[in-house]
């Protein structure tokens, strides 16, 4: 059982990068679910963010949060991890595997993207089957055009609550996956594994959510706005998981999902985003003579705030 002291050490981050050989993408997509399943089953695993290659790049990146350095070390030294890494090495470039425990993490996603947030409550006793099913869903979605990566995390101490965030280049790419026969079949297969589920979409175009640069008249990069939206959205979703979903347990899923969406959108649009835009204006619109250093400092600050949010809600949920 985790102690309070162990929880306060949460937030240790491990960044892993895989650089693929040309033509190995399909084989890597087939290998990926076994790696993800082993990672999510590792003691001390809190959550992960996955970034698939963007234009001009060939690297897959994983940013993984562990409860403590000991948990991260246990994963790195585990036999199952060693087996998974050995299996993927033939698909990688020479020196195509890198892993560090501290890294300046910038945005691995494209300048334009759309995000889908999915909250699931798993049937008691179905956790292993759910994880296996979720891995197969991820295996299918990575093969769809426009997929940029995703983030998945347990949201409750009993292991029954899960949150998945996935990103696609455009709404059309996301809708193509959401309406695909492959996903429809997988959703039908997983219907008996979940007691509650709702989802909502966050478009990273963010019209009206961020002002233009007063000096240049240009809007901030969408990847910066995306990071701020996630920073403001995560605590709202966490509070909904902790309190709102329980109070709406008797409502139809379509109605509870609509209420959750409405609350999230209103609070992000009129609450967290205006505050974050004012507070992080120096990072959204850096001066040209210090643009790179300001961008790095601001990005590092937001990543640290992500970790703090994960720690706090790990203690609450």
Residue 280 is assigned to a structural domain of this protein: yes
Q: What string of DSSP letters covers 68-137?
A: SHHHHHHHHT-HHHHHHHHHHGGGEEEEEEEEESS------S-SS-EEEEEEEEEPTT-HHHHHHHHHHH
Predicted local confidence at residue 81, as pLDDT: 93
pLDDT classification of 166: cutoffs 50, 70, 90: confident
Tell whether the model's pLDDT for residue 8 goes beyond 50.
Answer: no
Residue 199 is assigned to a structural domain of this protein: yes
Does residue 197 sit in the same domain as residue 60? no
Question: Residue 190 belongs to what domain range?
Answer: 114-316
Does residue 47 sit in the same domain as residue 130? no
- Smallest CA-to-CA distance from 67 within 1, 5, 10 is with 10
Predicted local confidence at residue 138, as pLDDT: 83
Q: Report whether 178 contacts 125 (CB < 8 A).
A: no
Q: Which helix (H) or strand (E) holds 14?
A: strand 12-20
Considering the chain, what percentage of its residues have pLDDT values greater than 70? Answer: 80
Residue 106 is assigned to a structural domain of this protein: no
pLDDT classification of 89: cutoffs 50, 70, 90: very high
Give how many domains the chain has, as a whole number.
2
Does residue 220 sit in the same domain as residue 164? yes
pLDDT classification of 116: cutoffs 50, 70, 90: confident
Which residue among 100, 131, 158 closes a domain?
Answer: 100
> Phi-psi category of 18—alpha, beta or left, where left has phi over 0 and alpha has psi -120 to 50?
beta
Average pLDDT, the chain: 79
Predicted local confidence at residue 111, as pLDDT: 45
- Token pair 């280049």: residue: 169
Does residue 93 sit in the same domain as residue 148? no
Highest mean pLDDT among 70-74, 77-81, 160-164 belongs to: 77-81
Q: Report whether 144 contacts 177 (CB < 8 A).
A: yes
Note the pLDDT tens digit of each residue in 12-34.
Answer: 778 788 888 888 989 998 999 99
Predicted local confidence at residue 119, as pLDDT: 77
The two beta strands, 59-66 and 114-122, are unpaired
Does residue 125 sit in the same domain as residue 89? no
249 vs 235, which has greater pLDDT?
A: 235
Predicted local confidence at residue 211, as pLDDT: 66
Predicted local confidence at residue 287, as pLDDT: 78
| For residues 282-309, average pLDDT | 87
Does residue 239 sit in the same domain as residue 133? yes
Predicted local confidence at residue 9, as pLDDT: 40
Does residue 92 sit in the same domain as residue 224? no
Q: What string of DSSP letters covers 189-235?
A: HHGGGEEEEEEEEEETT-TTTSPPPTTT-PPPPHHHHHHHHHHHHHH
Take residue 144 and report the two structure tokens written for it: 């769809």
Which residue among 48, 68, 100 closes a domain?
Answer: 100
Q: What string of DSSP letters covers 16-77?
A: EEEEEPTT-HHHHHHHHHHHHHHHHTSTTEEEEEEE---TT--EEEEEEEESSHHHHHHHHT
Predicted local confidence at residue 82, as pLDDT: 93
Which residue among 39, 69, 100 closes a domain?
Answer: 100
Note the pLDDT tens digit of each residue in 140-150.
Answer: 888 888 887 77
Does residue 129 sit in the same domain as residue 41? no
- Beta-carbon contacts of 315 under 8 Å, excluding residues fewer than 6 positions away, are 4, 7
Q: How far is CA 151 from the centre of its chain?
A: 2
Q: Distance of CA 208 to CAs 58, 188, 220, 228, 316, Å?
A: 34, 38, 12, 14, 33
CATH of the domain at 30: 3.30.70.100
Residue 191 is assigned to a structural domain of this protein: yes
Counting every residue written for the chain, the total comes to 317
Take residue 250 and report the two structure tokens written for it: 């008797």
Tell whether the model's pLDDT for residue 114 goes beyond 50.
Answer: yes
In DSSP terms, which residues pair with 51 in a beta bridge? 61, 149
C-alpha distance across the termini of the chain, in Å: 15
| For residues 77-104, average pLDDT | 81
Note the pLDDT tens digit of each residue in 46-57.
Answer: 888 777 776 555
Tell whether the model's pLDDT for residue 210 goes beyond 70.
Answer: no
Residue 107 is assigned to a structural domain of this protein: no
Q: Distance of CA 29 to CAs 24, 25, 264, Å?
A: 9, 6, 33
Tell whether the model's pLDDT for residue 3 goes beyond 70.
Answer: no
Residue 232 is assigned to a structural domain of this protein: yes
Does residue 211 sit in the same domain as residue 71? no
- Token pair 């709702």: residue: 198
Does residue 93 sit in the same domain as residue 125? no
Residue 105 is assigned to a structural domain of this protein: no
The CA dihedral of 61, 76, 230, 260, to the nearest 10 degrees, is: 120
Tell whether the model's pLDDT for residue 108 goes beyond 50.
Answer: no
Highest mean pLDDT among 1-15, 200-214, 220-234 belongs to: 220-234
Considering the chain, what percentage of its residues have pLDDT values greater than 90? Answer: 18
Predicted local confidence at residue 83, as pLDDT: 94
Does residue 188 sit in the same domain as residue 283? yes
Does residue 8 sit in the same domain as residue 156? no
Predicted local confidence at residue 54, as pLDDT: 60
237 vs 94, which has greater pLDDT?
A: 237
Note the pLDDT tens digit of each residue in 252-276.
Answer: 777 777 788 788 888 888 888 889 9
């Amino acid at each position: 059982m985790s102690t309070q002291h162990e929880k306060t050490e949460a937030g240790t981050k491990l960044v892993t990068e895989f650089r693929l050989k040309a033509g190995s993408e399909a084989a890597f997509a087939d290998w990926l679910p076994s790696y993800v399943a082993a990672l999510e089953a590792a003691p001390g695993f809190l959550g992960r963010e996955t970034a698939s290659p963007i234009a001009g790049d060939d690297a897959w990146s994983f940013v993984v949060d562990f409860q403590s350095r000991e948990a991260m070390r246990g994963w790195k030294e585990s036999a199952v991890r060693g087996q998974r890494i050995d299996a993927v090495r033939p698909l990688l470039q020479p020196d195509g595997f890198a892993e560090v425990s501290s890294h300046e993490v910038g945005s691995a996603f494209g300048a334009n993207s759309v995000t889908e947030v999915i909250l699931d409550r798993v049937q008691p006793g179905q956790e292993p089957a759910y994880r296996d099913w979720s891995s197969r869903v991820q295996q299918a979605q990575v093969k769809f055009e426009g997929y940029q990566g995703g983030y998945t995390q347990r949201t409750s101490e009993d292991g029954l609550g899960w949150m998945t965030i996935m990103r696609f280049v455009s709404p059309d790419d996301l809708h193509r996956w959401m309406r695909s026969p492959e996903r429809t079949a997988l959703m039908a297969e997983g219907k008996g594994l979940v007691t509650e589920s709702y989802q909502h979409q966050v478009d990273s175009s963010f019209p009206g959510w961020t002002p233009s640069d007063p000096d240049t008249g240009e809007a901030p990069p969408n990847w910066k706005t995306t990071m701020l939206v996630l920073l403001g959205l995560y605590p709202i979703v966490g509070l909904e998981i902790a309190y709102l979903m329980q109070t709406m347990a008797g409502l139809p899923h379509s109605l509870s999902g609509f209420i959750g969406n409405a609350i999230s959108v209103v609070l992000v649009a009129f609450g967290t985003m205006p505050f974050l835009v004012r507070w992080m204006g120096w990072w959204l619109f850096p001066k040209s003579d210090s643009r790179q250093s300001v961008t790095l400092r601001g990005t590092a600050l937001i990543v640290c705030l992500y970790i703090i949010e994960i720690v706090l809600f790990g203690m609450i949920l």
